[in-house]
Chains A and B, each alone.
Chain A
Amino acid sequence: MMESNENSPIIRLFHVSRRYGSKHALVDISLDINKNEFVFINGPSGAGKTTLLNILYLGTPVSEGQVLIDGMNLSRISRKKVPVLRRKFGIIFQDYKLIPTKTVFDNVAIVLEIMGKKQRLIQKKVRSVLRTVGMEERQNSYPLSLSGGEQQRVAVARAVVGAPKIILADEPTGSLDPESAEIIFDLLKKFHTRGTTVIVVTHNRELIKKAGGRIIYLKQGSLQSSLTS
């Protein structure tokens, strides 16, 4: 396994296809995403945007082709190595996917517990990240007592606390009001400036225009364009 250096892409897709029975979710996708890029994946509903994201963290396997993530070939990865792969990512979902029975603090801390970090470090890092996303004062609250925007901020905190190499965000602002959406995007930009590769699936053209970065456009499972704005 080779880690990518400064000049090589951190994500590489070679002729990747994904089928669900007779339905083609992705068709012959080849693309590279470099380190520290901010990439939007755009396209109409059913274009394969979420499928593409799922493939990257092995939420779904490829039907054809090869995927390299930071030097790891996903088609040759053993079951035991899948958690190692996933720890390279920080993932943000449209529906937040917070654990309802755990507090804000514990929802974020779980990532560091999984990584085997010591309690003292966990306390320090979690508080720091919650402060960054503006949720330190609500650390003992439960997700259901938070607004959508607040929950998504906690989800962002969970995604970044483990210092991942890549952030994947699937419609992170899909259920949020414009103000909250802007806060989330600002946070993603902030973490991007710290050296993290960010990939965002979104319909929000306003924010794409505002944020800048590369836009990968999918339609009916195929790559239509990959342009830097």
Chain B
Amino acid sequence: MLIFFKRAVNDILQHRFLNTITIITIALSVFIVSALVLFFVNANNIMNNWKEGVKIMAYLESDAAGESIQEIRSKILEMYGVQDVRFISKDEALKYLKNRMERQSSLFDNLNKNPLPDAFEIRMIPLSQTGERIELLASEIEMISNVEEVEYGQRWLGRFSNIFKLLKLLGYAMCALFFMAAVLIVANTIRLVFYSRREEIEIIRIVGASDGFIKAPFYIEGLIYGAIGGAIGLAFLYIIFCFISSNVGQGFTSEFVIVDFLSIKVLCEIILCSMIVGWLGCLISLKHILKT
């Protein structure tokens, strides 16, 4: 095994330019695919966070009395998909608003009357948080008497989910295309290296080398291309990620939006896939060459 590894390394060093091009191609493919993965992983997490924070606000009519408030609460709790209902009194709402708008507190000095209504904050069971279900629940709540208005800030979430699914499909297609392109590039490189060593291979065949002895270093080369190309692609992605996150700063993350780099597990999986790309390229190339 060590002999094959040494031969593979020697081959790579002997055809530096060709192998550098191949490794850079793999690195670029890995970079683009990993960037897509990074986007989708984080977008998925953000969407899941937003879904968890989905709140429906049901604003009550100003003359809603205490008993009817309890009735409304019970009715809402009975509805399908509702996890929790919290009553927010108009006074509580005003206090919260004043805290949020501390710098504009002078606005409230001239208020004679609290203009804010009583409201219910309704949280849904996470599994029920589909766009359609949220809309349906909102319309059901709106039908309850003494409920003046129903609002939910993530009205657009349902539409975005569908777009996100479409983007994911496109992402998969792009990944598949880059995967194929990288495999073909490696196959071509191995073919060129093989032909450049044709004389040597012919000689070692004559002295008794088996197909396995001849092929093994090429397979190892393919794995090395994949490993190094994958590592470079991911390193480049990480550098860009750090650059963006350090320069964009607070705008990049906020209380509700946290963007993380890929986990160690995902990084290892990407490197492994990259090595499989290298190995597959060799397989395709050598199968054809040794047949002829």
Contacts and interface: CB of A to CB of B under 8 A. Distances in A.
B210 interface: yes
Interface in B186-215: 199-200, 203-211, 213
A158 to B, nearest CB: 7
Given A114-B208, A162-B208, 15 more contacts: A57-B206, A80-B210, A80-B211, A83-B208, A87-B207, A91-B206, A99-B199, A99-B200, A99-B203, A99-B204, A101-B14, A110-B207, A114-B204, A114-B210, A114-B213
A196 to B, nearest CB: 16
B235 to A, nearest CB: 32
B134 to A, nearest CB: 65
Nearest to B7: A113
B3 interface: yes
Interface string B2-23: 0100000000001000000000
Contacts of B208: 83-84, 86-87, 89, 111, 114-115, 162
The A contact surface, by secondary structure, is mixed
Given A101-B14, A113-B3, A114-B213, A59 B200 contact: no
18 contacts: A59-B206, A79-B211, A83-B208, A83-B209, A84-B208, A86-B207, A91-B206, A99-B199, A99-B200, A99-B204, A101-B14, A110-B204, A110-B207, A111-B207, A114-B204, A114-B210, A114-B213, A158-B207
Interface residues of B, number: 14
Interface of B: 3, 14, 199-200, 203-211, 213
Contacts of A189: none
B105 to A, nearest CB: 82
A199 to B, nearest CB: 15
